[in-house]
Amino acid sequence: MSRKTWKVVRCVSVLAVSLLCSTQLEGQIASGMLSGTVTDPSGKAVADAKISVKNVVTSQSAETQTDSVGHYNVPSLTPGDYEVSVSAEGFSTNVSKVTVAAGAKQSMDFVLGGALSLGDLGISQDQAQGSAQDQARLNKRSHMLMLHQRLGLIDTIPLVATVIAGTGAGGKSTSSSDRYLHLALGSVTGDLYFLSAYYAIRAPKMPGEPVRGEIRWHKALAWVHGPGMILTPILGAIAFDEKSKGEKVHGIASLHGPVAIVTAAAYGAAILSVTFKF
């Protein structure tokens, strides 16, 4: 072989060797490693736990076991997404996902859960899993009933004031300012009352839930003060008209006072029924 030929052969050989080395080097840099520790819920190391690492794309898998101190090591993993499954006798299987980067030493620890699950107790997935919708409904119900409660409590102030002002507005009194004050306070009472009632009536009901306990009294008393809060201003308007004409309050209008007292008493009892335990 001539000198020239030898030179060419040498160059090609050097190129080939360097290419080969760089490919091997690339291969060495590209693979990753996964390691970690497996423990039980109390923190104790789990020996001989089986670790299975499966590439999600290629389905290639590698398996290993933890040593006496619960440590495992899975080298030479091609970069990518993996599903890691850890199982041991007496424990439930733990499956997790991990992404292994090129040349990276990934660490992933596992805490194995107990062998028992809710299914072992005869509790189905549906029973164990709640629903955000149900919770939202409960939240709306509680919020509206909270508004009902607050408005109802605030309304006791103008209610009591209306009753007190009523003593000056009725009977032998001829003062129109007392009548107008009683009318104004009564209007505020009525407005707040019906606003409070709106929230109670429109609060979501929970289907299949029977009504039990003190709340039954609270709901029953609403059938007294509810119609009373409608009848009282009607009778009051008639009485106001008669008084304005200088007449003595008579006939059906004379029931305004007693109906108002019964209404106020039922209202107070309704509040007490959900405040104290009797």
Partner 1 sequence: MHKRFLMALLLSALPAFAATDNQWFLAESTLTYHVSHPLHQTEGVSHAAKGKGVCHAGQCEFLTAVPVKSFDSGDSNRDLHMLQVTRGGQFPMVVVRTRLPESADASTTIHADLEVQFAGQTVKYSQVSFRQVTQGDEIRISGTIPATLSDFKIDPPSLLALPVKNEIPVRVEMTWQKQK
Which residues are near partner 1 by CB under 8 A?
A: 41-42, 89-90, 114-118, 120-123, 127-139, 141-142, 145, 153, 206, 209-215, 218, 274-277
State the minimum distance, in angstroms, from the CB of residue 133 to partner 1: 8
Q: Which of 165, 220, 218 is nearest to 187 (CA)?
A: 165
Q: What are phi and psi of 14, to 5 degrees?
A: -60, -45
Instruction: Tell me if 95 sits within 8 A of 108, measured CB to CB.
Output: no
Question: Smallest distance from the beta carbon of 148 to partner 1, in angstroms?
Answer: 11
Q: Which is nearer to partner 1, 151 or 260 (CB)?
A: 151
| Shortest Å distance, C-beta 24 to partner 1 | 48
How far apart CA 51 and CA 255 sit, in angstroms, is: 85
- Cβ neighbourhood burial of 244 (10 Å; 0-12, 13-18, 19+): exposed
User: Between 213 and 251, whose beta carbon lies closer to partner 1?
Assistant: 213
Q: Record the tokens describing residue 86, joined without a space.
A: 């850890």
**Structure tokens belonging to residue 91:** 């424990």
CA 220 distance to own-chain centroid? 31
Minimum CB distance to partner 1 smaller for 91 or for 193: 91
- Considering the complex, state which of residue 145 and residue 183 has its C-beta at the smaller distance from partner 1: 145
Nearest of 68, 69, 74 to residue 104 by alpha carbon: 74
The CB-of-213 to partner 1 minimum distance in angstroms stands at 3
Least distance (Å) from partner 1 to the CB of residue 193?
A: 19
Q: Report the length, in residues, of the chain.
A: 278
Question: How far, in Å, are 48, 170, 231, 232, 253 from residue 266 at the CA level?
Answer: 72, 22, 14, 13, 21
For residue 88, the Cα-to-chain-centroid distance in whole angstroms is: 35
Q: Toward partner 1, which CB reaches closer, 27 or 213?
A: 213
241 neighbors 249 (Cβ within 8 angstroms): no
Least CB distance from residue 276 to partner 1, whole Å? 6
* Between 63 and 134, CB nearer to partner 1: 134
Least separation, in Å, of the C-beta of 96 and partner 1?
Answer: 18
